[in-house]
Amino acid sequence: MAKQKQPLSPEQAEIKAMKKEKSSNGWTKFWAIVLALVLAAGTFVLGQSTAKKAVEAAGVGTSTPGGTTTTPGGTTTTPDDEVSMFPEDPQGGETTPGGETTPGGETTPGGEANAPEAKHTKESVAKALNEATAKAAKASYSFERTAKFTRDIDVGGLTKILDGIIKGVDKNSDLNSVVGGFLGIKKDPIKADVKNGKGEGFDGKYMLKATKLTAADIQSFKIDGNKYQVQIVNCTNPDANSAWAHASDDYITFAQVNESIAGAVGNAVKVVPEGSTATYKNILITAVIENGNITSYEYKYTFDATIVIKAGLTANGSGAAEMNSKFTNFKY
């Protein structure tokens, strides 16, 4: 008599279906399920048997983590001291005590700004970018976004285990590529054309945004003819009211991460905002503005994070990356 196959658990059935499909959304959800279940391995929430089933369903054997609590994979970083990217430039955003920028950065003996010689201020630079991007955001243009890790994802003792499971499912993937898929850090650039401020086939947060910059958002700047280079202040755990959010929607919050995880696997695994940090720094916007219209636009920044992951027990992860987006071929 033929041996009857044991019915698949819901997790196994979903993994099996998505392994066949590998659609963009399905494949991302697949990785979310695998990572979440393995991170929960050995805990009192899901137990080792659940993690074992996930590993078996992924087709990579039956070994599971030993149930130990992982140690932090890296040191929590704090924002660097706010240093101007243009310390030598006379218009590099170096301000006098009165807050006004002078062509030579000179102050009067009494410490007052030499206002009559002032050419640009943080206020005037913010105003110029806000007005130009308001028009550019509604225009047609092309963009290309590249991103790469500068420090590999480290989840302490689980790093090698997760990498092994991932490569067992897809030999061309690893922990960096899987986590990068959630963060928009991919091997190939994201390229798209936007028509009259509208585009399809990519995350809308990568589009050029009508900036709402204030003087307080600008750390330093340099202006050479029609070329504006503007350094945005560092942002840790940005939200809609942060300096970087006034310039772009290209950032992610822990609430959004947890929402994505919950959509795939429920609340078994989540990022704990308390103790987690995501720092956006070295943020530089470069824009060429001619007759009030942007003809080219670029922003780049570095990102590093240390996160606390709760999955019954607590795991700690860290990593760093850099992003670069270029906008060209503007048509108004």
Show pLDDT as tens, one digit a residue, over the chain (332 residues): 555 556 655 545 555 554 444 444 555 555 665 565 555 543 322 233 334 444 444 443 333 333 333 333 333 233 445 688 886 554 445 443 334 444 444 444 444 444 444 589 999 999 999 999 999 999 999 999 999 999 998 888 778 877 887 787 778 888 888 778 767 788 889 999 999 999 999 999 999 999 999 999 999 999 999 999 999 999 999 999 999 999 999 998 888 877 776 766 667 677 888 888 999 999 999 999 999 999 999 999 999 988 887 766 677 888 999 999 999 999 99
Crossing angle for the helix pair 175-183 and 159-169, nearest 10 degrees? 90
**Contact yes or no for 283/238 (Cβ under 8 A):** no
Structure tokens at 186: 């991919």
- Beta partners for 303? 280, 321
Residue whose C-alpha is closest to residue 144's, from 298, 261, 272:
298
pLDDT at 82: 67
**Contact yes or no for 51/64 (Cβ under 8 A):** yes
**Contact yes or no for 297/136 (Cβ under 8 A):** yes
- In which residue are the tokens 């078996």 written? 56
Buried b / exposed e over 138-159, threshold 16 CB at 10 Å, is ebbbebebbbebeebbbbbebb
Ranges of beta strands (E only) in 155-253 are 190-194, 218-224, 227-232, 235-236
Q: Tell me the C-alpha distance between 239 and 314, whole Å.
A: 25
Q: Tell me the C-alpha distance between 138 and 330, whole Å.
A: 10
pLDDT at 16: 53
Q: Tell me the C-alpha distance between 168 and 273, whole Å.
A: 31
pLDDT at 18: 47
Residue whose C-alpha is closest to residue 162's, from 46, 260, 51, 310:
51
Q: Tell me the C-alpha distance between 58 and 65, whole Å.
A: 15
Q: Tell me the C-alpha distance between 151 and 130, whole Å.
A: 34
